[in-house]
Amino acid sequence: MSHSTPKLSVQIEQWTKEDVQLWLTTQVKVHQTYAERFYEEDVLGEYLVAFEKKDILDLGIKHGPAVKIIYYLEKLKQGSRFESQFPAYVEQWTKEQVYQWLLQYVKIYGKNAERLQEEDVSGDCLVCFKKQDFLDLDVKSGPAVKIVAELRGLNSKPEPMLQPSLHTNHDHKDSPTHLKSQPSSSPAVPANQPESLSREELVKYESRKVQTPMEKAPQKAPPKPEMLGEERTHSEEITDRLCAPTLLQKTLEHLVKNEQKTFRFHLRHLKMTCHESIAQSKLEDKDTTDLADLMIDHYGSQEALRVTVVILDKMCRCDLVRDLRSSMGHLKLQCRSKEDLRREANQGDKLKNLLTCGGNSLDSYDRFVVVVNKSSPEQVEYLQFLNKLKLFCVLDFDPNSAVPGGLCHSYREARMANLHTPSQFEGQTEVVMKNLNLCRQTSWVFCNGRHDLDSESQRELDYKNWLRKACRNVEQLVSFICKPEVLLHGRTLIVFLLLSPVHNEKDPVFDTYKAFYKHTEEESIISICESQSTYEKWRDLIQRQCECDISKQSVSELTLSEVNGTIMALGPFNRASGRLLPSSDSSSVVLKQKDEDFMTALDILCLNQCENVYDEKSSEFHDFKIKVEEEFFRGGKVKWWNFYYCEKRKAKPFIKRDKYENLMKMIKFHSKDPKSACMLLNLFHHPGCGGTTLAMHVMWDLRKDFRCAVLKDNTLPKAEVALQVRKLMMLESEKPSPVLLLVDDSKETENAQYLVTCIHKAVVEDCSSRTVDDAPNCQVIILNCIRSHSPKEQYRQHSTTECQFITTSLTQKEQEDFEEKLQELRKTHTKPENFYTFMIMKSNFDQTYIDGLAHNTLENFDMSTNKAQLFAFLALLNTYVAESEISISLSEDFLGIKMRFWQEDNVLDRMKPYSNFLIIDTIEERGGYKGIRILHHSIASACLEEMEKSYHLKVSEIAMALLQCDLFFKTGVVRDTLMLSIQRMLIERQRKKDGDERETFSPLVEKIHNQQGRQTIQDIFVKASSQFVVSASIPQALARYLYIKEHDFPEALKWAEKAKKIKENPYTADTVGQVYKSNLKSNIQSEKQSTSCNPEDLDTNIKLSINAIRAFQRAQDLANTQDKPEEETADDDSEDCPTKSSYSVYGYVGVLEIAFLVFEILGRLPFFKEGDPLRKRYLQGFLKKMMPITSVYKEDNEINKRYNEIIKDHERFLLNLKTEVKEIFELFDCYFTYIKGNLGEFDSKNHRTVCGHFEKYIKLFFSSPEEKRSERDSNPKLNLKMDIEERRGFLEEMHADTFAGILQYMDKPAEEVEKITEYYVFLQQQQQFINQKQKIKEKINYILSNIILHLLKPKSKYVRNYKQLSALLLETLQDVGLGHPFPDPYYLALLLFWPTSTQEDTEIRTYVNAIRSSSRKRLSILFRKRSTVAHFYLGKQVGLGRLVPKPKLDECFGEIRRNALAQLWRNGDIFKEKQIISRLHRVNGTIELGEVFANYDVYISA
């Protein structure tokens, strides 16, 4: 048979995509859908020739058509026509007929025939198949060869008579009556009365049948979990025992001899049930009756019948399978009486045990994953139990779930759920979890469309299209969920909630089950079915396809109402009244679960916290109380329960620390006299001294006055936290309620200060529409707990009214309270002396007691064992990294523990005898997981000392062993957390006790350096670098160590460059610059001690300077251009930049430092030597480009000649230094003038550095008064020129030659400003300018100095009036236009030309736009993410009098401390004060999208 080629171009390469589509439909004759896929993917002829079968399969095209297309394509490329080698009728076969031929004539395994049918192998595709094509479909070589041979044999045989066959998926309802292999009659169905019963059995059976519904079987003891689901009613057992053998025997009789042999073969190798296979010896010489009895004895009646169904299915005896299933169904209906059809008596207990691991609380599992198919609105009513489960995600196959009446819609009415699609789970694990907010809020994943969205892409797909378009994404989603770093195996339960039947394997829900089955343990999956029939279809499908028995893991005989009631009755219990929050006017409101779901960052403390959760008279509550108290006193984190217990009758009060009253008074004081919408109060405390417990104790006692919450995760964006705090403040109330927020383990006050800014912004924006009367209640107090090794010193450095401290030292009263508490614990707990954290505090942190504990516990410590190594790792981490731990899952892997379900403490069991020092915590960060740590920081530290003292095990050896454990450095969320702790241990520096500066290196590095020196340090960092391959911080830290401690600059540079190569950012680039700078300083120091001069040293030092400046400039460029500076952290603190966003100007500081080192080097040259005024003048002239180096007088010798050559080689670099330094000083004038006060640690250090260098600059480039007089006397004709230069020099010395510098004089003596203005008057009179730029700059500065002088000394003779200054400014504005690079002239325009209430000046809009444009060019990068200060405010007078300087306003608040006043300005609460309201003119406007729109009859964007 032949086909004609379509009329297309002879050259395939010239075909368009339309031509390819035409060829596929007319020549190849594939389905139009497949041709359209090629068209949609832009497959041109030139691309088509390169296609292989895999490429076509990747388009979602089934295997059959793909083989056909490739076959035709090969023929086309060969230039030949398709000639079929088989009879014409073969090409006419449908895929069903191919399936029938394979079963009836080729007689291959049914699974292989089904595989071909699934891949659309019709006759026209089959004739194109080769052996390899069958192998690609997982058909073994034997069947593949036979198919090819039988296909060829059709040429010499008559056309086969194909007869319909039943498929194993049971889609066909009618069975054929003409199949040769079908038996003439179905096996006999037993009558109502069983056959062959003895008289006793018959009496018992009949009496069982007539038992009334009111009669009940005897009660049985609750079954063990592993036996759930296996109990059966008495009548079922009799019926099965009497009827099943007959049914099974008659079915086996229909097998011919060879088939019976095959049946025994499958039976011997069957592994689908919980039973062992039947031994070969037992199967020999058995007829059908004996074989049936043997199977029933081995498997039991029902299981034997199911085994038979599976084996017959594998043998392709579909007819027998159909009849046997039908008979089994009749058997159940006819042999069960009404009483026999009732549910299993233990189904409720079974459901409870499956969900709680045999307990009474849903807390047994950390997370639940639910897979649900289509539901009806009537069913949704009984699915409220989903609201109670800790859902990680729901995989929903109902496209109507999100519409009203759907399951998702119902869930979201009560709980928070984020709606996702499977494709959103692609990418790096941690990124996906962060972006989708997994583990914090339920993820509801729509796996087959969403009909609530009007989008064609969200339509529900039939199975064929779902398999092609969506199946891969769902399988990837399942793989993601089952990653141990996402959900821990054994602590997550996957629930298949079948609300509608799954009829066959062509169902997306079944494919999802197979995906979970592939990635997790069977015990982690349970099924809840809405009916028995749904369950039976589901069970049989899984048995047939997955060869596993799910009966133990399934619940099917409870109604949905009973399922809902059973789960809702499980703990933890929700009180009927709900969780309550305090509200205005001493009222309270209910905290809804959905609202709490939204506030994922906060652990909210309610008014009725812990109440009505348990039956407090029950033994369960008593056991829970003992456990919680024991965990806390051993060293666990304090829980609200601990305070609740102490409020109960007969209980002793919770121990109040000495600072309790101070902290309570401080909070109440600031709440009664609020000066801010958000207030920050700091509590500095030693690690492990009870600081967090004290803070939570205060919160517990203030829960009726504040809405209290603890920030659970410090890693969350501060803006997101602020929004949640605002929601808590406004929840269920028109009037805002005060909030007390605890921030624990904050490392810096600066970090919390940023949170204050975010909260203030969020609160003010929300309350902007509210009345002033609401303002006092619009308040958030942040209680910031800061771990510190010197809490008392830090307390003294801060405002003592806004902070407190607590140390590891108890007062006498506290010691007495602890002794009293111990006596109480002895009455309720066994061996309270083993509550080591409590005992440490009771002993007043006695080091001798702690050392004794460590010595006794570590007796016979053997580092060669895994448990000892793990304990040593924990001791190291817990000593040097606060709040560090190793996850339970990693600990199990390290110890070689295989996960056992329903058990949690096996790690502690394995860690004995060290487990007395260990505790398991739940870590909220990064989605939540459980980790193990040592009870107390002091115990960890003492254990390290004991290991070194008694076992000669140094911390360096433990650190190296930790770094050599590859298990800890694989990817994954919990591993990333551990890696972060290890990294912090190596690089994180502590504050010095006597100031804000930090130690040079981490405590661990300092200790190892002091003990063992460089080589050990370098070995550790080299190994760490091999583990932290994508982190720049480790090589960066090693570079710092090498250049600071060892002065090995070449090696340091190598590691600094490696860090920059890994991740180039401002900090790694800065480290390179620091290496060069340190090298340069070292060289200068060495040369100072040397008595000889070597010109080559100058060349070396200048080259180092060039490289250093280049590195610092690169660092500054990176800081200026990065898109999100707030997210860029210092990987290794970069010499002096350990805090986030601290690099804003540090590159400029580096350039300044290098420039002045170069000036120092030049000043030591023989012909520029310091101390000689003439030689100093030579250096000034050279650097100011007024004297070439060749004109500088120098002695004629070889050394000076070489110096001269070197300077000429680098002349361009050297001559640009002075200009570059001046530009940087002007930039810093802007920076320190415009940013708000309260400079951070590194801005303060930068300010000191810049000021110091400016003094050097003045000394170097300006003459002393004596030198000026001498010069004036020697050049009397140049007096005017010298006068001009002298005045300009004075202005530069006083920082008054810049606009920003003059603004700094607003709070300085009027006489200084008057002299500055006098000099500008002189310069304006002389009108001698180098260029137009200088003229405009001095005119602008002159106007500003006049304005300030008017404010400070309005009657000065140099003051010009408002009219004169306005005219001069208008003249200047005409000169500069609207494109001036600096905002200075437009700033003056706003000061002088802002319209009054009686005038309208539309030009002001132009100046507003101009200042915005110039500020963005000049200042936006410099001030990014920083608040700027306003120097002038608009008053109520006219002319210059309406400009009110900020220092004048500050004078109104002389009684307020400076820090408190600065806080009022920062958050804007200053404008609520009467003194401000009375002096300033209010301009109305609004804020939209971060822009200010001011209104004076028309809107002006500012």
pLDDT tens track for 737-758? 899 999 986 555 566 778 888 8
pLDDT confidence tier of residue 1, bands split at 50, 70 and 90: very low
Taking 60 as the threshold, does the pLDDT of residue 840 lie above it? Answer: yes
Q: What is the mean pLDDT of residues 797-824?
A: 85
**Phi, psi angle pair for 1140, to nearest 5°:** -60, 140
Cβ–Cβ < 8 Å for 907, 897: yes
Those residues whose C-beta lies under 8 Å from the C-beta of residue 1050, and which sit 6 or more positions away, are none
SS3 call for 710: strand
The type of residue at 447 is C
Please tell me the predicted confidence (pLDDT) of residue 733. 82
Please tell me the predicted confidence (pLDDT) of residue 1025. 94
pLDDT confidence tier of residue 1242, bands split at 50, 70 and 90: low
Measure the CA–CA gap between 418 and 1048, rounded to whole angstroms: 54
**Top-confidence residue, 561 or 1472:** 561
CA 1477 → CA 371, 1170, 1449, 1470, 1482, distances in Å?
62, 58, 11, 9, 8
Q: What is the mean pLDDT of residues 158-176?
A: 53
Taking 60 as the threshold, does the pLDDT of residue 1290 lie above it? Answer: yes
Cβ–Cβ < 8 Å for 1386, 1344: no
Quote the DSSP letter at residue 657. P
Measure the CA–CA gap between 1225 and 1290, rounded to whole angstroms: 15
Q: What is the mean pLDDT of residues 351-365?
A: 85
Cβ–Cβ < 8 Å for 413, 595: no
Among 206-210, 650-654, 1200-1204, name the most confident range.
1200-1204
Measure the CA–CA gap between 5 and 630, rounded to whole angstroms: 86
SS3 call for 1406: helix
Overall pTM > 0.85: no
pLDDT confidence tier of residue 647, bands split at 50, 70 and 90: confident
Q: What is the mean pLDDT of residues 160-165?
A: 72
Please tell me the predicted confidence (pLDDT) of residue 236. 47
**Top-confidence residue, 95 or 963:** 963
pLDDT confidence tier of residue 994, bands split at 50, 70 and 90: low
Q: What is the mean pLDDT of residues 1388-1405?
A: 79
**Top-confidence residue, 452 or 298:** 452
Please tell me the predicted confidence (pLDDT) of residue 799. 66
Cβ–Cβ < 8 Å for 406, 400: yes
Lowest mean pLDDT among 74-88, 168-182, 1218-1232: 168-182
Please tell me the predicted confidence (pLDDT) of residue 240. 53
Q: What is the mean pLDDT of residues 944-958?
A: 94
Please tell me the predicted confidence (pLDDT) of residue 1396. 77
Measure the CA–CA gap between 251 and 186, rounded to whole angstroms: 9
Those residues whose C-beta lies under 8 Å from the C-beta of residue 825, and which sit 6 or more positions away, are 629, 633, 832, 835, 838
Taking 80 as the threshold, does the pLDDT of residue 435 lie above it? Answer: yes
Sign of torsion, CA 1014 1002 983 948?
Answer: positive
pLDDT in tens, 1010-1058: 999 999 999 999 999 999 988 899 999 999 999 999 999 999 999 999 9
pLDDT confidence tier of residue 878, bands split at 50, 70 and 90: very high
Q: What is the mean pLDDT of residues 517-532?
A: 91
Helical residues (DSSP H) of 1090-1216, grouped into ranges: 1095-1121, 1146-1163, 1173-1183, 1198-1209, 1211-1215
Cβ–Cβ < 8 Å for 107, 143: no
Measure the CA–CA gap between 29 and 3, rounded to whole angstroms: 10
Lowest mean pLDDT among 309-313, 741-745, 1477-1481: 309-313
Please tell me the predicted confidence (pLDDT) of residue 228. 37
Please tell me the predicted confidence (pLDDT) of residue 348. 87
pLDDT in tens, 1307-1328: 899 999 999 999 999 999 888 8
Strand 707-711 relative to strand 602-605: parallel, antiparallel, unpaired? antiparallel
pLDDT in tens, 709-739: 999 877 788 889 999 999 999 888 878 889 9
CA 1035 → CA 37, 133, 354, 975, 1140, distances in Å?
51, 53, 51, 20, 19
Q: What is the mean pLDDT of residues 1163-1187?
A: 84
Quote the DSSP letter at residue 446. E
Quote the DSSP letter at residue 1359. P
Please tell me the predicted confidence (pLDDT) of residue 184. 34
**Top-confidence residue, 732 or 1150:** 1150
Among 153-167, 643-657, 1093-1107, name the most confident range.
1093-1107
Lowest mean pLDDT among 155-169, 784-798, 1042-1056: 155-169
The mean of the pLDDT values for the chain is 82
Percentage, residues of the chain above pLDDT 70: 85
Taking 80 as the threshold, does the pLDDT of residue 137 lie above it? Answer: yes
Q: Chain centroid to CA 827: how far? A: 45
